[in-house]
Amino acid sequence: MKQIMKYFKNYKVKAVLAPLFKMLEASFELLVPLVMANIIDIGIKNGDKPYIYKMALLMIGLGLIGLACSITAQYFSAKTAMGFGKELRRDLFKHIETLSYTEIDEIGSSTLITRMTSDVNQIQTGVNMFLRLFMRSPFIVFGATIMAFTVDSHVAKVFLVTLPVLIVIVFGIMMITIPLYRKVQARLDKVLLSTRENLSGVRVIRAFNQEENEKTFFCERTEGLTKEQIFVGKISSFLNPLTYAVINLSIVAIIWSGSGRVADGFILQGSVYALVNYMSQILVELVKLANLIVTETKAVASANRVSQVLLTNSSQIYPDAVGADRTGSKSGKHADGDVKVRFVNAGLTYKNAKEPSIEGVNLDVKKGDTIGIIGGTGSGKSTFVNLIPRFYDCTEGQVLIDGVDVKEYPKEKLIDKIGIVPQKAVLFSGTIEDNMRWGKADASDEEINFALDIAQAKDFVQEKEGGIKFMLNQGAKNLSGGQKQRLTIARALVKKPEILILDDSSSALDYATDAALRMSIKEKTDNMTVFIVSQRSSSIMYADKIVVLDDGCVVGIGTHEELLRSCEVYQEICSSQNKAKEENDKEQSVNTTVEGGVMA
């Protein structure tokens, strides 16, 4: 909670003024029954119309002053809550951006989205309601009790019996329902997760005709949430009838006791009215307080969950630029000639994993070399290249660039050296030009077009309306898979990185385009070191070195010819792919022959 409370520091004055004005409003509200009692006891009893008018004007004045105080309090509480929420949301987003892949994988992206939206909104609402009601409701409850004793201490003893009973009822129900509301919130998280998965995976669901199954699964989760909410609602529903029953019985007791006091001449009729009015005020405020407690319980639960994210620190620490230059220069003494990237017994075991995903990697990559990385599914190909830009840190060994451990580079300096094209082609809504400038903010049109040319994307971009000004919709759904892949490659090339990582980023391209892309990168880039992760042997067969991975271990390093002679895993990969290609070519040939016969 300390992580959350610090966001009040810029709103201390407003956070104090809001409840103060609410208490001022409550003070004027407590005076109204006394004014009304005087109207009854003096004005109406004596038929004194001028006095009635005067008191009526006083009541209107009290109402207007109370309204002004209420509006002022609402203004300060809203400013505090909205400003608080804005700063919390901003810092939470900034903090999430600092987390490494390890923490994001552990927490989960859907959970982080819920924290950023639903939980922050719940906290914001809690702050607003707290400032408006937390001081006002108790003030009215105890103030009305005290004011009742100023009217008549004998009848006011009813308040001393009623108030504890009401407090027990209200807080007893709250103590029962608060844990249940927490369960409801947990079930709501599951429903939100299910909704997000269905929306993001709607194409897959339809492709496999799983709509009915997903509807059934979603209904089961929502029914569970509904049952929990109904159960809590049933318990909460006892609040109003019980409190109203106690209040009405108390009002009966006040009228019965008060009538005797009136008959004995100790008090007047207006005093009884004032006592009844004070009892009604207590009822209203206790119900408000009960609802406030529910809201605050949800807000506290949300605050704890947001605090958990804020207290989660990145496992990766980047040095500052000055210290890094100093350390880098020392490490740079160990640079070995033209070696650009060096893996020294590098390995990675993901957090909470029992076995390493990759281990014992030793590899020297020279400047300008093209390195192919191939292996079966789950062999550790993406993990291998993710160690270079520090998406994940080595849990054993180290990775060096220009003789410097990647952990000793400032983040900006490391990322400037590397261009990354991930497996999933991600483009953002906006123009193609906007997306290209993610690689280099001040890139000229010539630089963008040059990168598009290398990525084999220039032709189809020129055909689009507006060229590089063509507007992409959300997720670039108005492009094909191959077009998106080529644009993501161009985006990485715009910055002219020293190291280019293509993580299976040409899987949607045909063989001819893939070959043209690799040749263009080789010929039109200035001594760029390229890592190509691919499932296809044809994509990496002309690489200077090919790294073959199997179950997280390097089982072969060499050229295509060398590995065909010495690496059994590589032989199996090439053999299976060539066989599949031959069968495919044979099938196409048969189809062509049949079609030709039919045409004849």
The per-residue pLDDT string of the chain (600 residues; one tens digit each, 9 = 90 and over) reads 677 888 888 888 998 999 999 989 988 988 888 888 888 888 888 888 888 899 999 989 998 998 999 999 999 999 999 999 999 999 999 999 888 888 888 887 777 888 888 889 989 999 999 998 888 888 888 888 888 888 888 888 888 888 888 888 877 887 887 788 778 877 877 787 788 788 878 888 888 888 888 888 888 888 888 888 888 888 878 877 888 888 888 888 888 888 888 888 788 888 888 888 888 888 888 778 878 877 887 788 788 888 888 888 888 888 875 555 544 444 444 455 578 899 999 999 888 888 888 988 999 999 989 999 998 888 888 899 999 999 888 989 999 999 999 999 998 899 899 999 988 888 888 999 999 998 888 889 899 999 999 999 988 998 888 888 999 988 788 888 889 999 999 999 998 899 999 988 877 788 888 888 888 888 888 788 999 998 888 888 888 999 999 888 989 999 999 999 888 888 888 888 776 555 555 555 544 444 444 444
CA distance 78 to 70: 12
Helix (H, G, I), strand (E, B) or coil at 320: coil
* Cross-strand pairs, 547: 373, 557
Burial 384-395 (b: 16+ CB within 10 A, else e): bbbbbbbbbbbb
Euclidean distance between CA atoms 373 and 557, whole angstroms? 9
Indicate the burial class of 141 (C-beta count within 10 angstroms; 0-12, 13-18, 19 or more).
Answer: buried
pLDDT at 337: 59
Report residue 28 as tokens: 């004027």
Task: Walk me through the domains of the chain, giving residue ranges and CATH numbers.
Answer: 2-310 (1.20.1560.10), 321-566 (3.40.50.300)
pLDDT in tens, 394-449: 989 999 999 999 999 998 899 899 999 988 888 888 999 999 998 888 889 899 99
CB atoms < 10 A from the CB of 492, how many? 22
Angle at CA of residue 68, ends 64 and 71, nearest 5°? 135
Cα–Cα distances (Å) from 402 to 257, 388, 399, 418, in that order, read 93, 12, 10, 12
Q: Residue 240, SS3?
A: helix
Nearest Cα to Cα of residue 271 among 42, 56, 58: 42
Q: Report the chain's C-alpha Rg in angstroms.
A: 36
Tokens for 188? 């709501």
Model pLDDT, residue 600: 42
**What pTM does this model have?**
0.73
Confidence (pLDDT) at 336? 57
Q: What confidence score (pLDDT) does residue 418 get? A: 92
Which 3 state secondary structure label does DSSP give 336? Answer: coil
pLDDT digits (tens, 9 = 90+) for 354-408: 888 898 899 999 998 999 999 888 888 889 999 999 988 898 999 999 999 999 9
Q: Please answer whether residues 328 and 319 qualify as being in contact, where contact means their C-beta atoms are separated by less than 8 angstroms.
A: no
The pLDDT score that the predictor gives to residue 598 is 42
Query: What integer pLDDT is reported at residue 331 of this predicted model?
Result: 43
